[in-house]
Amino acid sequence: MVAELAGRFAPQTVFTRFITPEKPQDMPGAWQRYYCKWQEATRARVDPELLELLPPSQRLVPPAAVIDKTRYSAFAASPLSAQLARRGADTVIVTGSETDVCVLATVLGAVDRGLRVIVVTDAICSSSDEGHDALLTVYRRRFSEQIETVAAETILSQWRPALIAA
């Protein structure tokens, strides 16, 4: 579903990649403790190919854009807000993984910025079914005025993106 959505709307697509630090000390505060525990996830130890976009996504760049992030939220310590402002975007359509980590942080970051947030329910995933299901319930019940949840088919059949002047 992610590939289908991004392929259909590549010029409007912004991929974010979670890029881990070279070593734990390259990150602030509690992130150091996290990466000390999970050192195999640091760039010093991880296969660099694991940090790349998957091939179906790589083929869309350009016109799709890529923003590297070092935090769970795509908005934290990244140029995403500026990129969206330059595009005149007032809505984000969120896909990706993990529903209960990066997707959650990014969705709440978008809500905090006053953006219209649409979570594509069949284009997000988690390594925890329980966490995934719980977050979809929270989005629908607790954040119903700020977060919309829809199936990919709804986006594919109804979205008509405006042309963006560069």
For the chain, list the domains and their CATH numbers.
2-19+64-158 (3.40.50.850)
Give the global pTM.
0.91
Q: What is the pLDDT of residue 112?
A: 97
DSSP 57-94: HHTTTTTSEEEEESSSSTTTTSSHHHHHHHHT--EEEE
CA distance 33 to 110: 27
Name, in order, each residue with C-beta under 8 angstroms of 58's C-beta and a sequence gap of 6 or more: 52
| Percent of the chain's residues with pLDDT above 90 | 93
Q: What is the pLDDT of residues 114-153, one digit of tens each?
A: 999 999 999 999 999 999 999 999 999 999 999 999 999 9
